[in-house]
Structures are given as structure tokens and as C-alpha cells.
């Protein structure tokens, strides 16, 4: 596995999130020099959030975002982000951030930012009896059994350390038992600066990595040959409590429904101490290979 890993991969992710400002509310982003045939959804969502956040008072922190993927992104072309100031109120700021390529929107997002306030505080408990990340195989350990997948992963940067509790969605057909949950430990595989917006953008990036796996997990299905191909249709994320994306968090995902070639997935993120830091919901297009 020769692709960028560790701090080098994290530094490259930071470069992707460090957009170039081209106007008062306009920014330009790039994609990795190597990668998949279309732009990874988590990347464009993270960059769109960077663009929105740069137009907001830094004393206000993002608490929710809702985005739609409308066209596949071309990784060989820059992405232009245009931000519209919807409202700046006494407590909240709302922005609309749209990503363009070839003058056509490929993704748009509404994001809301809130000044810190004190109030009621509760959350449902984290799942019990989940192995800790240091008790689980690394990605390299898992890929050692799947040479046909190792070549793909070797070519792309891997800024996220991912430790699956169960079987990943990319194993061979028949190697994945049905499971109502897809649970994964994640963290940035290096250190991030202290900027809360960067941590929110990194978590947004990570939140798109395994969420749709939970739709397949219900049926014991897998991605690729002999299984399913898919694409994200929309993505929503709520940030509940302060966190660091370069510290371990459990992504506890499940799918309440799938029908009509679409699957709905939801996931909660917990720190090692069991604090609920974020919730994600996504719908994806899922089709049998060859259908």
C-alpha cells in the first residue's frame, strides 16, 4: 500500500480544504491528483462547508448542514464555490454554498451557524460492548485478504484511519453476513490545527465514507462486482457537541428503509468516552451491478 497515509495524507486533506478565495463570497477548490473517476462526495461537502464558514463570524459554529449531490464532479477540473448570505440574525447565520463545474451546479448546501449558548443537555447512550479501535484490524490488515481491492486503495490518499467493527462493504460477495448495524471507528490519521471549522469539515468528509454501507449491511450485500453500485443523493449532518476529528469516534450506522433503488441511512458519532457529537442522515441510489 503505497498511497499517502498518516500525517502526509492529513496534510493533503488540509490543502484540499484550504480554498482559494476568488471573490468576496467566491472560492475555488481542487481535487487530489490521483483518485476515483468522480469527486468523492465527502470532499465536495467539506469544501462547500469551508466556503460557507469563511463568510461567517468565527464566533458562530456550524450546527447543521443539508446538501444535495446533483451531478458527478470531475476530479481533473477545479470546483468553484459561490456562497449566498441568507441571513445573519442575533444568534444564527445561514448560508447557501453551491459548487460549480463548467458553470453547472454539482452540489449545493445550506448550512447554519450558531453562537454558543447554555441550555438543556441530554443524549441517548452509546452502543454497549463495542470493541475499542485498538482491538480491531487496521485497513492494511483487512486488505491483506483482498488483493483485488488493495491495488485501488494503494493509489489514493487515506487521511482517515478506519477500523471496522464488522465486515466492510467492499469484501467479496458471500463474505459479509447480514447485520442491522454498520459500526466503524474513525479518526484523522494525523493532527489537525485547533480551528473548529476545520474539524467540522474533516468530520463532514469522513461522514460520507461508510454511511451507505449500512443499507447493504442489512442484506449482507457488498459493493462492486457481484453486488451493488451506488451514489450519494443527499447528505445531512448535525453537530451536537465540541469534538476533535483527529481523535477516535465511533460511527454507529443503520438503515431504517430501502426501496425503489434508494436506501436511507442514518448514523450517530460518539467519542471514546461515549459523548454524542454528531448525527448524519443520507439517501443513496443503489443498483445491482449490470442492472
Active site members: 208, 232, 282
d(CA 150, CA 46): 26
Phi, psi of 170 (to 5 degrees): -105, 10
- Which residues 6+ apart lie within 8 Å of 184 measured at CB? 162, 163, 164, 165, 209, 210, 250, 251, 253
Distance separating the N- and C-terminal Cα atoms of the chain: 32
CA nearest to 195, candidates 94, 61, 16 = 61
Provide the sign of the torsion angle of the four alpha carbons 60, 62, 63, 68, taken in this order: positive
- Length of the chain in terms of residues written: 291
Q: What DSSP state is assigned to residue 133?
A: G
Amino acid at each position: 500500500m503505497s498511497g499517502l497515509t498518516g500525517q502526509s495524507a492529513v496534510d493533503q486533506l488540509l490543502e484540499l480544504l484550504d480554498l482559494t478565495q476568488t471573490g468576496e463570497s467566491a472560492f475555488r477548490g481542487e481535487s487530489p491528483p490521483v483518485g476515483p473517476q468522480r469527486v468523492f462526495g465527502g470532499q465536495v461537502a467539506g469544501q462547500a462547508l469551508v466556503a460557507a464558514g469563511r463568510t461567517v463570524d468565527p464566533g458562530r459554529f456550524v450546527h447543521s448542514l443539508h446538501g444535495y449531490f446533483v451531478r458527478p464532479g470531475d476530479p481533473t477540473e477545479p470546483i468553484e464555490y459561490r456562497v449566498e448570505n441568507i441571513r445573519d440574525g442575533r444568534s444564527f447565520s445561514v448560508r447557501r454554498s453551491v459548487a460549480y463545474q463548467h458553470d453547472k451546479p454539482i452540489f449545493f448546501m445550506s448550512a447554519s451557524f450558531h453562537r454558543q449558548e447554555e441550555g438543556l443537555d441530554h443524549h441517548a447512550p452509546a452502543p454497549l460492548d463495542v470493541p475499542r479501535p485498538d482491538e480491531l484490524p487496521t485497513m492494511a490488515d483487512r486488505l491483506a485478504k483482498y488483493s483485488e481491492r488493495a491495488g485501488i486503495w494503494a493509489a489514493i490518499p487515506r487521511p482517515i484511519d478506519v477500523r471496522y467493527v464488522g465486515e466492510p462493504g467492499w469484501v467479496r460477495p458471500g463474505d459479509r453476513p447480514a447485520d442491522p448495524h454498520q459500526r466503524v471507528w474513525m479518526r484523522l490519521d494525523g493532527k489537525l490545527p485547533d480551528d473548529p471549522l476545520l474539524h467540522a469539515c474533516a468530520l463532514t468528509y469522513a461522514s460520507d465514507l461508510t454511511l451507505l454501507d449500512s443499507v447493504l449491511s442489512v442484506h449482507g450485500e457488498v459493493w462492486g462486482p457481484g453486488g451493488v453500485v451506488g451514489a450519494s443523493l443527499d447528505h445531512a449532518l448535525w453537530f451536537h457537541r465540541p469534538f476533535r476529528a483527529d481523535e477516535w469516534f465511533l460511527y454507529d450506522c443503520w438503515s431504517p428503509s430501502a426501496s425503489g433503488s434508494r436506501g436511507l441511512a442514518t448514523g450517530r458519532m460518539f467519542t471514546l468516552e461515549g459523548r454524542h457529537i454528531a448525527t448524519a442522515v443520507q439517501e443513496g441510489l443503489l443498483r445491482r451491478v449490470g442492472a
